[in-house]
Structure 1
Amino acid sequence: MSFINKSHQSLLFGIAFTFSIAGIGFLLAFLPVFRQIGPLSVAILLAVIYRHFFGFPLSLKKGIQFSAKQLLRLAIILFGLKLNIHVIIEEGIPLLLRDSLVILFSIGFMMLLAKMIKADHSLSLLLGIGTGVCGASAIAAVSPILKAKEEDTALSAGIISLIGTVFAISYVILRPFLPIDAESYGMWAGLSLHEVAHVVLAGAPAGEEGLAMALLGKLGRVFLLVPLCLILMAAMKRKYQTSSNQSLPFPWFLVGFLVTSVIGSFVLGSYIQVSTQFLDGVSTATSFILTMAMVGLGLNVSLRDVRDRALKPIAAVIVTSILLSIVTFFMI
């Protein structure tokens, strides 16, 4: 490969490196021990362990950065295909109102608790957004806007994925003992659990109607990711205008997210016929690309820093998630 210069080698081999770790994460996720955790969390954990024992592979830096930044944006754009705007419009204001309250409570209480126990502000904010909206995907979307460190993005994504899995499994265990029907249970899961995957995991045992309600509750929160990002952009723009003349770059990937949402909701199926297998394949590819991006971010995580910075935010997000489950139970 002498015809490829070092810069291109760093790019190609770095992308291949994140691809390999993401692939291992997906394969391990088929095993019973790792199945409930999910490939994203497994892959991030592998990346963090590699960094801890072998250090950051500087020769692959360009490709790792490409995965962490460019592939991350591509994953968010493709994620828009999962958002069915038809359903949001049909359910209207009541659904969006409840979802808005969930987001406000999650972020507000998380930041209040973080301030009380003096937890790391950046991690706490990302975890609050992940709890309120849609887990690692929301964290990935807002990180460029908040100018969060790559280490904080990967760390908070890993934490929210693991905690969300624990809560989803807990919901499945609790369901037979709850005095609510399948549809109410599904809506509760959709309003309170962290990621779409967690909602599916918890909602599936409630049957088709329960799962449909779970996804409905979750879709509204995903839909609100865009206005939340716009609010954060305005807040950050004001912050940087008052502190310096530094400009805030516009997150064009959000436009892509909106475009794919419109395509998925109004074009595919109506004007362009596609099979369910194709959409499932795109969804799997999106998850894999996001996992590659998180591997790139995870390679920037230092376990020594985690020990010093992450314990208090983890405690805060657990308490916030428990209270969110209680509050939303009385909202259904």
Structure 2
Amino acid sequence: MEHSIMKLIHGLALAGLLAVLSVSLAERMGGLVSPLIFAILFGLAVGNLLPVITQGKWHAGLEFCKKRLLRIGVAFYGINITLQQIADVGAGALLVDVLMLSSTLLLAWWLGRRWLGLDGPTALLVGAGSAICGAAAVLATEPVVRARPQQTAMAVGTVVVFGTLAMVIYPLLYPLLGLSPQAMGIYTGATVHEVAQVVAAGSAMGDDVAQVAVISKLTRVLMLAPVLVLLGWWLSRREPDRTASRAPLPWFAFGFVAVVIANSLLPLPAGLVEQVRHIDTWALTMAMAALGTSTQLGALRAVGINPLLLAGMLFVHLCLGGLLVTHMVSA
């Protein structure tokens, strides 16, 4: 037991150090950028400048972060959501979220596979990042689709590019779209990639928009669990050999739902909820940093530009399709 723990220490310490840098930088920027984004960038830098760290005494701890810690972090991500919050925004927001999430995932698969010639994991990772909750969704989907580190890193990169673009564009477009603050909040929450990006864009448009946007976004996050379960089931039927080779059961998706229900129904102290939220951010940030260290830039170049093209097409769909659906639901 002691020997096993010692094997983990070096990799855990490295991931923890990169997480400290990432969280600190995100806090300095006022939370406008998720620490997960900084973590993968720092991990990429360290892993490519010092590739030896992915081997030897570092390997076990980094692998633990990428697999076990990642799944635990995704499960406890549900602490950010309550069923009451979802009820507050009403059926209209739920309908917009469901339509945009499902259409974006389907479009990602169709465009990615048929038109851009991408492999299945890459198309699904880019689709999940665009459709659900950015980098956290990419991380959660990675074990279900059995993606390689470079595929995951590329998908996270698309979240950075187009989520940041949305964060800048939406406040500029708000006066021109003819949407009420409630409708603009639903539109923003249903179509912008990261939770942090939704907060930043919503705050730039006013507190009335921001509050609705965040709840609409968290409703999308809640859909992560059923999406992972359905995706795993669909892939096992599409690729029977997955079952023979032990298709991964997304237990963390069920854990996610359990945490949401507990946070909604149990009288959890506010201090405890905040502490769990804080620890969970650290867990996911360490997982993202570990992922970055095992991703070589040469492998990213091999993936090509097509994932970015797919993410761009999905971004256009989210902006225009989301606006149309929001207008229809709000009419």
Q: Is TM > 0.5 for Structure 1 vs Structure 2?
A: yes
Could you tell me how far apart the structure 1 residues matched to 2:242 and 2:139 are? 25
Judged with a 3 Å threshold, the aligned counterparts in structure 2 of structure 1 residues 127 and 62 are, in CA distance, closer, same or farther, namely: same
Q: Hey, what does 1:210 align to over in structure 2? A: 209
**Aligned match of 2:292 in 281, 289, 298?**
298
Judged with a 3 Å threshold, the aligned counterparts in structure 2 of structure 1 residues 29 and 243 are, in CA distance, closer, same or farther, namely: closer
Are 1:331 and 2:329 an aligned pair? no
Q: Is the 1:56–1:300 Cα contact (8 Å) retained in structure 2?
A: no
Q: Is the 2:8–2:61 Cα contact (8 Å) retained in structure 1?
A: yes
- The structural deviation recorded for 1:89 is 4.5
- The structural deviation recorded for 1:254 is 1.7
Could you tell me how far apart the structure 1 residues matched to 2:301 and 2:153 are? 15
Could you tell me how far apart the structure 2 residues matched to 1:131 and 1:56 are? 33
Are 1:78 and 2:72 an aligned pair? no
Judged with a 3 Å threshold, the aligned counterparts in structure 2 of structure 1 residues 198 and 305 are, in CA distance, closer, same or farther, namely: same
- The structural deviation recorded for 1:138 is 1.6
- The structural deviation recorded for 1:327 is 1.1
With normalisation by structure 2, the TM-score equals 0.88
Q: Hey, what does 2:222 align to over in structure 1? A: 223
**Aligned match of 1:318 in 304, 308, 312?**
312
Judged with a 3 Å threshold, the aligned counterparts in structure 2 of structure 1 residues 187 and 246 are, in CA distance, closer, same or farther, namely: same
What RMSD in Å do the two structures reach over aligned CA positions? 2.4
Could you tell me how far apart the structure 2 residues matched to 1:158 and 1:285 are? 24
What is the 5 A alignment of 1:77-96? Answer: 77-89=75-87, 93-96=91-94
The amino acid that maps onto 2:250 is P
Deviations, residues 283-303 of structure 1 (Å, cap 9, x unaligned): 232222111001111111110
Could you tell me how far apart the structure 1 residues matched to 2:226 and 2:243 are? 25
- The structural deviation recorded for 1:107 is 1.5
Q: Hey, what does 2:24 align to over in structure 1? A: 27
- The structural deviation recorded for 1:281 is 3.7
Q: Is the 1:85–1:262 Cα contact (8 Å) retained in structure 2?
A: yes
Could you tell me how far apart the structure 2 residues matched to 1:113 and 1:11 are? 41
Q: Hey, what does 1:66 align to over in structure 2? A: 64
Q: Secondary structure at the match of 1:331?
A: helix
**Aligned match of 1:39 in 35, 38, 42?**
35
* Segment of structure 1 superposing worse, 146-155 or 89-98: 89-98
Q: Secondary structure at the match of 2:106?
A: helix
Are 1:171 and 2:165 an aligned pair? no
Q: Is the 2:232–2:248 Cα contact (8 Å) retained in structure 1?
A: no
The amino acid that maps onto 1:71 is L
Q: Hey, what does 2:183 align to over in structure 1? A: 184
The amino acid that maps onto 2:205 is A
Q: Hey, what does 1:256 align to over in structure 2? A: 255
- The structural deviation recorded for 1:310 is 4.1
What is the 5 A alignment of 1:98-177? Answer: 98-114=96-112, 115-177=114-176
Percent identity between the two aligned chains: 27
With normalisation by structure 1, the TM-score equals 0.88
- The structural deviation recorded for 1:201 is 1.2
Judged with a 3 Å threshold, the aligned counterparts in structure 2 of structure 1 residues 322 and 135 are, in CA distance, closer, same or farther, namely: same
Q: Secondary structure at the match of 2:244?
A: coil
Q: Is the 2:105–2:127 Cα contact (8 Å) retained in structure 1?
A: yes
Deviations, residues 164-194 of structure 1 (Å, cap 9, x unaligned): 1221122133334443232221111011111
Judged with a 3 Å threshold, the aligned counterparts in structure 2 of structure 1 residues 56 and 255 are, in CA distance, closer, same or farther, namely: farther
- The structural deviation recorded for 1:328 is 0.9
Judged with a 3 Å threshold, the aligned counterparts in structure 2 of structure 1 residues 295 and 102 are, in CA distance, closer, same or farther, namely: same
| Uncovered stretches (5+) of structure 2, i.e. residues with no partner | 327-331
Q: Secondary structure at the match of 1:330?
A: helix
| Uncovered stretches (5+) of structure 1, i.e. residues with no partner | none
The amino acid that maps onto 1:17 is L
Q: Hey, what does 1:283 align to over in structure 2? A: 277
* Segment of structure 1 superposing worse, 285-294 or 209-218: 209-218
Q: Hey, what does 2:329 align to over in structure 1? A: none
- The structural deviation recorded for 1:39 is 2.1
- The structural deviation recorded for 1:240 is 4.1
Q: Is the 1:203–1:214 Cα contact (8 Å) retained in structure 2?
A: yes
